Amino acid sequence: MTLSSERPKPLLRRIGRVSWRGARQLPALLFALPYAFIVGYSLVAAITPTADLHRGEIGRFTLENFALAWSSADFPRLYLNTLIFTLGLLLVQVFTVTMAGFALAHLKGQGKDALFYLILFQLFLPASALILPNYILVERMGLADTLTALALPYVASATGAFLLRQGFLQVPKELVEAAYVDGATPWQVLWRVLLPLVRPQLAAFALVSLVYHWNEFLWPLVIIQSPEKRVLSLGFASFARSAESGMEWGLIAAGALLVALPMVVVFLLFQRSFMEAFARSGLKG
C-alpha cells in the first residue's frame, strides 16, 4: 500500500511547483493581455489567406503573405544593410554615450548644468527641422547615399548621454570612494567598478538605439538613393503602401513581422541583461 501511494507524490509536487510558479507570473500576463490582443490581430492577418481576411473570415492558414512580402523586396540585402547601419552606429554610440554620461555625472563646477542642457538640446529640435539641413551638409561632404551618412547625426546621442548620466549618478558614492581608498586609478574605477554597474542602462540604451534605427524611415528615405543601399524601413514601405488601392492587411502584417523578427531576437538577447542580479559586494563590506 505504501509503495503505490508514494510514487505519484513527487510528480504531483513537481506539477504543483510549476503551476505555482506559473500562477505567480499571472499578473504579468494579465497586464500584457491588451498587447497580446493587438499582436494577435497582426499574427492572424499575416497567416490568413488575404482573400479570406478581406471577407472577414479567419481560420485558414497560409504562408502566401510571407511569400509575397519576401518577394516584394530584396530582404537579404535589406537585412544586411540595416544590420551594418544599426550595429555600426551602436558600436560608436556605446563609446560616446558612456564617456558623455560619465562626464556629465562627475563634472564639477559652474558649467556642468549648461553642458547637460546643451546636450539635451538635441531632443528639443524636431527631427523634420534637422533633415533638410543635414541632407544638404551630407551631400556637400560627398557622403550622400551611404550608410555612414545615415549614422552621422546620431553618433552624439542625447538620450544615451542622459540615460548613462542617470545610471552613473545612481551608483552609491561609498562604492566609488571605497575603490579609491583601495588605491584604484580613475581609469580603473571607470572600468572595474562603474561600467559593470551601468550595464542595465547600457543594455537599455543599446536596445532602444537598435530598435529606433531599425525602423527609422524619414532620414533614410531622404539620404538613400541606390537600391543596394536600402534599409528595411524603405523596403517595407515599397510594398506596404496603398494610396490608390485598398490596404493589403495580410501583406502589411507579414511584411511588418519580417521586418520586426530580428528585433525580437535582439530583445530576447538583451533583456537578460536587465535580469542579471549583480553583486553589490561594496555595500556589504
Instruction: Find the binding residues for another protein in span 167-226 (CB under 8 A).
Output: 167, 169-170, 172-174, 186, 197, 200-201, 203-204, 207-208, 211, 214-215, 217, 221-222, 225-226
* Measured distance CA(135)–CA(165) in Å, rounded: 30
Given 14, 17, 19, 51, the residue binding another protein (CB under 8 A): 51
174 neighbors 283 (Cβ within 8 angstroms) = yes
At 231, phi and psi to the nearest 5?
-110, 175
Give the interface segment with another protein, choosing from 2-10, 80-88, 274-282 (CB under 8 A). Answer: 274-282
| Residues 157, 93 contacting (CB under 8 angstroms) | yes
Q: In 3D, which of 208, 216, 247 has the Cα closest to residue 233?
A: 216
- Between 182 and 242, CB nearer to another protein: 242
Q: Using CB under 8 A, which residues numbered 52 to 91 contact another protein? A: 54-56, 68, 71-73
Identify which of 172, 203, 175, 170 has the alpha carbon closest to the alpha carbon of residue 189. 175
Q: Are 97 and 161 in contact (CB under 8 A)?
A: yes
Is 80 or 170 the residue whose CB approaches another protein more closely?
Answer: 170
- Scanning 5-13, 78-86, 242-250 for contacts with another protein by CB under 8 A, the matching segment is 242-250
Q: How near is the Cβ of 155 to another protein at its closest, in Å?
A: 5
CB-nearer residue toward another protein: 1 or 114 = 114
Give least dist CB 180 to another protein, A.
9
Q: Of 135, 143, 178, 195, which one interacts with another protein (CB under 8 A)?
A: 135
Measured between alpha carbons, how far is 209 from 154 in angstroms, rounded to an integer? 9
User: Of the listed pieces 3-11, 78-86, 243-251, which binds another protein according to CB under 8 A?
Assistant: 243-251
Q: Does 269 bind another protein (CB under 8 A)?
A: no
- Helix axis angle, 249-275 to 64-72, nearest 10°: 90
Render the burial of 246-284: b for 16+ CB within 10 Å, e for the rest: eebbbbbbbbbbbbbebbeebeeebeebeeeeeeeebee
Q: Least distance from C-beta 42 to another protein, angstroms?
A: 6
- Residue 110 grid coordinates: 559652474
3-state secondary structure of 236: helix
Q: Which of 77, 84, 122, 148 binds another protein (CB under 8 A)?
A: 122
Closer of 195 and 256 to another protein (Cβ)? 256
Contact set for another protein, span 17-46 (CB under 8 A): 21-22, 24-32, 34-36, 38-39, 41-42, 45
